Amino acid sequence: MTTEMITIHSPDGEFQAYRAAPDGGGKGPAIVVIQEIFGVNQVMRDICDDLADQGYVAICPDLFWRIEPGIDITDKSKAEWDKAFELFGKFDPDLGVKDIASTIDVARRDSHGNGKVGAIGYCLGGLLAYLTACRTDAEACVGYYGVNIPKFVEEAGNIHGHLMLHVAGKDQFVDAAAQKSMHKGLDDNPHVVLHDYPDQDHAFARMGGEHFDARAADLANTRTRAFLQQHLG
Catalytic positions: 171, 202
For residue 87, give the nearest of 119, 58, 123, 121 by alpha carbon: 123
In a 3-state reduction of DSSP, which class is residue 122?
strand
Judged by DSSP in three states, 65 sits in coil
Please list, residue by residue across 124-149, b when 16 or more beta carbons sit within 10 angstroms of its beta carbon and e when fewer do. bbbbbbbbbbbbbebbbbbbbbbbeb
Helix H, strand E, coil C: the string for 14-60 is EEEEEEEECCCCCCEEEEEEECCCCECCHHHHHHHHHHHHCCCEEEE
Sheet holding 13-21, edge to edge: 2-10, 13-21, 57-61, 28-34, 113-122, 140-144, 162-168, 192-197
Q: How far apart are CA 15 and CA 100, in angstroms?
A: 11
| Beta strand pairing call for 28-34 and 13-21 | unpaired
